[in-house]
Every structure is written in structure tokens, then in C-alpha cells.
Amino acid sequence: DQQVKQNSPSLSVQEGRISILNCDYTNSMFDYFLWYKKYPAEGPTFLISISSIKDKNEDGRFTVFLNKSAKHLSLHIVPSQPGDSAVYFCAASPSNDYKLSFGAGTTVTVRA
């Protein structure tokens, strides 16, 4: 049973607009949450993370929001650029266990 769920397999957005990717989790022991980005024929690369003591973390065009009560996090990309077209994975880990659990991924396509 997947503990990290990304219910939208794909997202299409126009260049310059906001991309919002959603992720839900079921394990209340998760304390660390990360987003990875993956291009074809490459491995996933770390994008941004947040710990459970925060509700927002921002890094340039990327912002992650965490709602612990709802067991939900989201990734906002503003403004979206063509190079953002990729698969995005949500991942989570308890603080005492550095194994990451991943979601199924969301494929983002940024249209010119």
C-alpha cells in the first residue's frame, strides 16, 4: 500500500503560468518531505525539501507547502519554464529512518 500518493499523473501548463503539484501521505510518522525532478534517461535529482516543523519552504521559483493536519503537501513552480517539463516525484521519510518512500510521479509539460 503506497504511503505517498500523487493522484495526478500529468499536468500541462502554459509557459509563465503557475504549476501546482499535489502529494498526499498516510504515514503520520513522516517528518521529512522532498521533491525530486526527473528528465528522460536520467536519474531523479533533488529539488526542494521541507521538514514537519515548517509549513513553507521557498527556493527561487519553487515553493513547497506542507499541511500536516491534512497530510498534504504541494509544490508550486512560478513562473513555469519549458525546462521544467519533467516527471516530479514526491518523497517522504520518518526522522529516525532515512529510507525514502516515493509517490508515483506527476509528468509536467510546459507549453510555449
Decide if residue 93 touches other proteins (CB under 8 A).
Answer: yes
DSSP assignments along 48-80, one per residue = EEEETT-SEEEETTEEEEEETTTTEEEEEESS-
Q: Of the two residues 41 and 70, which places its CB atom closer to other proteins in the complex?
A: 41
CB of 22 to other proteins, least distance (A): 14
Are the CB atoms for 36 and 49 separated by under 8 Å? no
Binding mask 21-60 for other proteins (x = CB under 8 A): -----------x-x-x----xxxxxx--xxx---------
β-strands 30-38, 19-25: how paired? unpaired
Residues touching other proteins, count (CB under 8 A): 28
